[in-house]
C-alpha cells in the first residue's frame, strides 16, 4: 500500500515541476504591472526597557567668573520725603554776632507827640487839699516842648495809651491816688515817722479831652522846699 502511494506521488511531482517551468518562462515574456501596496499592519507591542547604563564620569567643577565693572548709570529720580522726625533738643547758644550799625534817628511828628514833666514849687503849703489835683507848676526842663498842666491837671489832646508816674517827698504821711476824670486808677498810701519818698505809676488809655491828676485822699504833708515832688506823663502810642 505504501509502495503504491510513493509511485503515484512521484510522477505527479515531476509533472508539476514541468508545468511550473513552462509557466515561468511564459510570464517572463509578458510581465504585468506591480500591484497596489497592501494596508500597513498594526503596531507591534511596546518593547521592554533596556538595561541600566553605567554611571558617567564626574564633570569639571564650575568656577564663577567675575566680569569687568560696568559704566556708571544715570542718577535715579529723588525719592519721596520721609516722615517728619521728632523735634530735637535745643542746641547751645551760638556765638555773639558782630555789632550792628547804629540806626538813624527818627523823630516823631509834633502832631503825634504828647508829654509833660512838672514839679511842685516851694510856694505851696505842705498840706494839700484832699480830693483836689495837687499843683505841679514848674517845668522840670524849661527848654522842653511838651504839653502844659492846668492847676496840676493834664488834659489829653490825642487819643491813645499813656504812661503816668509821680514821685512825692513827704513828712510822715503820703496817701495819694492817680485819677482819670472822676475814676481812681491807683490808690497808694505811705506812712512813716520821718521823711519819705513815694511813687506811683499807671498805664491808661485816654480819649481826647480826658483829664489825669494826682490827688490826696487823706492828710498828706508834701515837702516842696528841700526835695522836689514831680508828676510826669507821655503818650506811648496812638489808637
Asked if the model's pLDDT at residue 13 lies above 50, the reply is no
Q: How far apart are CA 221 and CA 125, in angstroms?
A: 9
Per-residue pLDDT of 73-91, as tens digits, reads 899 899 888 898 899 999 9
Exposure class string for 97-124: b at 16+ Cβ within 10 A, else e:
eeeeeeeeeeeeeeeeebbbbbbbeeeb
What is the sign, positive or negative, of the torsion defined by CA atoms of 188, 189, 192, 194?
A: positive
Cell reading at 98: 558782630
Categorize the per-residue pLDDT at 215 as very low, low, confident or very high, splitting at 50, 70 and 90.
Answer: very high
Place of cell 550799625: 101
Per-residue pLDDT of 89-112, as tens digits, reads 999 999 999 998 887 767 778 788
Cell reading at 60: 569639571
* Contacts of 161 by beta carbon, 8 Å cutoff, 6+ apart: 203, 204, 205, 206, 235, 236, 237, 239
Q: How far apart are CA 111 and CA 130, in angstroms?
A: 35
Query: Which residue segments constitute the domains of the chain, with CATH numbers given?
Result: 111-238 (2.60.120.40)
Beta bridge mates, 32: none
Amino acid at each position: 500500500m505504501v509502495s503504491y502511494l510513493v509511485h503515484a506521488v512521484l510522477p505527479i511531482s515531476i509533472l508539476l515541476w514541468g508545468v511550473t517551468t513552462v509557466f515561468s518562462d511564459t510570464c517572463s515574456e509578458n510581465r504585468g504591472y506591480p500591484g497596489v501596496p497592501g494596508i500597513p499592519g498594526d503596531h507591534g507591542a511596546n518593547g521592554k526597557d533596556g538595561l541600566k547604563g553605567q554611571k558617567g564620569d564626574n564633570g569639571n567643577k564650575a568656577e564663577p567668573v567675575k566680569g569687568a565693572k560696568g559704566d556708571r548709570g544715570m542718577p535715579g529720580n529723588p525719592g519721596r520725603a520721609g516722615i517728619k522726625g521728632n523735634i530735637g533738643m535745643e542746641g547751645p547758644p551760638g556765638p555773639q554776632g558782630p555789632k550792628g550799625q547804629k540806626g538813624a534817628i527818627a523823630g516823631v511828628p509834633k502832631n503825634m507827640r504828647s508829654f509833660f514833666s512838672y514839679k511842685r514849687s516851694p510856694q505851696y503849703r505842705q498840706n494839700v487839699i484832699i480830693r483836689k489835683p495837687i499843683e505841679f507848676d514848674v517845668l522840670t526842663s524849661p527848654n522842653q516842648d511838651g504839653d502844659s498842666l492846668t492847676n496840676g491837671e493834664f488834659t489829653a489832646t490825642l487819643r491813645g495809651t499813656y504812661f503816668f508816674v509821680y514821685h512825692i517827698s513827704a513828712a510822715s504821711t503820703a496817701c495819694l491816688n492817680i485819677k482819670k476824670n472822676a475814676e481812681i486808677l491807683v490808690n497808694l498810701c505811705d506812712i512813716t515817722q520821718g521823711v519819705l519818698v513815694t511813687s506811683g505809676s499807671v498805664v491808661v488809655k485816654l480819649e481826647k479831652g480826658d483829664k489825669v491828676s494826682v490827688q490826696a485822699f487823706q492828710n498828706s504833708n508834701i515837702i516842696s522846699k528841700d526835695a522836689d515832688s514831680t508828676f510826669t506823663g507821655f503818650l506811648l502810642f496812638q489808637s
